[in-house]
Structure 1
Amino acid sequence: NVTGTSDAVSAEKIMELALRITPDIKTVGALYNSGETNSIAVINNLKEYAQKNGLTVVEATVMNSSEVQQATASLASKADAIFSPIDNTIASAMPVVSQVANQAKIPVYVGADSMVKDGGLATYGINYVKLGQETANIAVQILEGQKPGDIPVKTLSDVEVYLNKTTAEAIGITIPEDVLSEAAQIFE
């Protein structure tokens, strides 16, 4: 008997954005903490997308932030781009991920706008005001007597583009105008 809202954005959606910005990607490096169940689910989604779209996924998993620099360097030598889901370990080490990836001229696509602010190149993110409104709508349904288990978990389909201009310049990528025009926020 559970319901609610989710701020998850699928790996498929983020990879579609990645391929609009850097269409020559053939190998994606998956950087995540293998102890975070949410990360494993998103990486499985990434692998499904990759298989359907002729991409190769190479993985580097970490258990704590002290392993992030080496894992990022390993992926930077094998991949055309790095992908990290909303992962607490990676999010806390984004400055390190960004530094290593920028030196290697590799874009990092991430699962949260805060990770773009901290150096990732781009993501699709959620408008949390809209998510809050959806959560309130569910609360009203419950208060009106509907059983929580009968109300599906709601995710937002209208996501927003977040970009990091400083990162794009550091790795020598020109973000296409059509992507720039969609940006809800551009971090500098």
Structure 2
Amino acid sequence: MQRREFLALAGLAATWSPLVWAQQPRVPRIGFLTTGSVEQTRTSMAAFYKGLGEYGYVDGKNVIVEFRAADSKVERLPTLASDLVGLNPALIIAQNSLAARAVQQSTKSIPIIVPVMGDPVEDGLVASLARPGGNITGLTFIGPQLVPKRLAQLKEALPMASQVAALWHPAAYSKVTTQNMINEAESAAKRLNLRLQLVAVQSPDGLNQAFSTIAGEHAVFLFPSPMFFVARGRIVELAAELRLPLFAIGKEFVQLGALVSYGADIIDLNRLCAGYVDKILKGAKPADLPVEQPTNYELFINLKTAKTLGIDIPAALLARADEVIE
């Protein structure tokens, strides 16, 4: 090739290269905001990445996931949410209702997917489950509505129990959702002849003090809360130290040593939310994507813990268990 022809081609390439690059498809960014730490969210993130893979998405290849963790400091959520919004992502995963409210305050346009919502309607996140109506959608684990049933299971497992401490996190949900949950718990406790001692826990640092006030109770019952789920290891340890039967909100507690849990598979909801990611990246609007509800609830029982505490779990309850840890 003559030098004159080479220089002409080089000049053409220099002229058109920016345009060619501009026409390349932009790799969408996905924000991910969690209330816990990186370590505490590891299993949830693994489930999320697994879900993305099921739809052909790979972080760093055809999507970029921007992760932010509040390290159980709720006051950090607004700043982290604003940080993610500033990146102008295609969508944001707000892992639970707490994170969702923070992102909701930062953007009304960027799609928000919430894998683990308690009562999204009462919390003001969506207009209805069937027609969310705004920029938020996702999945609900129906945690608050399960409180009466979980208390009934406690009474079935411990028929002689009359005093139960119920730990709750004031910031977990809206005031309306929280009050509804407390009202339902108190009504159920009355029907079951249980005296319910409500103990508020503001942060993980308050767990030690909370447990020190309930040492004389017959059992400890957890209201659903992202904070409790993140701090499940410490909660199980404290209950064990006081030899208190612990009735929890997910199988992960029972796997660590809690006595009984009943609810949806919280970790798997993070995998399932990838379906929303796929739909939104392909042009769907959150307002038109119904909030999904669990189709299966799991009952887990730790017989090893029961034996340690000298508790005989009724055969009828054992028969209904999805898994019994021995």
Which TM class, normalised by the smaller chain length?
0.7 to 0.9
Q: Give me the whole-angstrom Cα distance separating, in 1, the residues matched to 2:324 and 2:305.
A: 11
1:100 aligns with 2:234: no
Q: In structure 1, which of residues 36, 46, 51 is the aligned counterpart of residue 172 of structure 2?
A: 36
Moved more, 89-98 or 168-177: 89-98
> Alpha-carbon deviations, 1:74-110, whole Å to 9, x = none?
1232x32211133343334434433333343321111
Q: Which runs of 5+ in 2 are unaligned?
A: 1-133
Identity %: 23
Q: CA deviation at 1:12?
A: 1.5
Structure 1 partner of 2:247: 109
Paired residues of 1:31 and 1:90 also in contact (CA < 8 A): no
Paired residues of 1:31 and 1:60 also in contact (CA < 8 A): yes
1:8 aligns with 2:8: no
Structure of higher RCO (CA pairs closer than 8 Å, 6+ residues apart): 1
Query: Which residue identity lines up with residue 83 of structure 1 in the other structure?
Result: F
> Alpha-carbon deviations, 1:24-52, whole Å to 9, x = none?
33332121332322798467424423324
Query: Which residue identity lines up with residue 142 of structure 2 in the other structure?
Result: A
Paired residues of 2:167 and 2:221 also in contact (CA < 8 A): yes
TM-score, normalising length: structure 2: 0.47
Moved more, 33-42 or 51-60: 33-42
Q: CA deviation at 1:124?
A: 1.3
Structure 1 partner of 2:322: 184
Q: CA deviation at 1:160?
A: 1.7
Q: What is the root-mean-square deviation of aligned Cα atoms in Å?
A: 3.6
Q: How does 1:47-126 map to 2 (within 5 A)?
A: 47-54=183-190, 55-77=194-216, 79-126=217-264
Paired residues of 1:39 and 1:87 also in contact (CA < 8 A): no
Distance 1:13 1:158, change over 3 A: farther
Query: Which residue identity lines up with residue 20 of structure 1 in the other structure?
Result: E
Q: Give me the whole-angstrom Cα distance separating, in 2, the residues matched to 1:40 and 1:58.
A: 20
Q: Give me the whole-angstrom Cα distance separating, in 2, the residues matched to 1:185 and 1:39.
A: 34
Aligned length: 186
Q: Give me the whole-angstrom Cα distance separating, in 2, the residues matched to 1:102 and 1:75.
A: 13
TM-score, normalising length: structure 1: 0.74
Q: CA deviation at 1:21?
A: 0.9
SS of residue paired to 2:187: helix
Q: Give me the whole-angstrom Cα distance separating, in 1, the residues matched to 2:195 and 2:180.
A: 13
Moved more, 13-22 or 120-129: 120-129
Paired residues of 1:161 and 1:184 also in contact (CA < 8 A): yes
Q: CA deviation at 1:71?
A: 0.8
Query: Which residue identity lines up with residue 33 of structure 1 in the other structure?
Result: H
Which of the pair has more CA radius of gyration? Answer: 2
Q: Give me the whole-angstrom Cα distance separating, in 2, the residues matched to 1:103 and 1:40.
A: 34
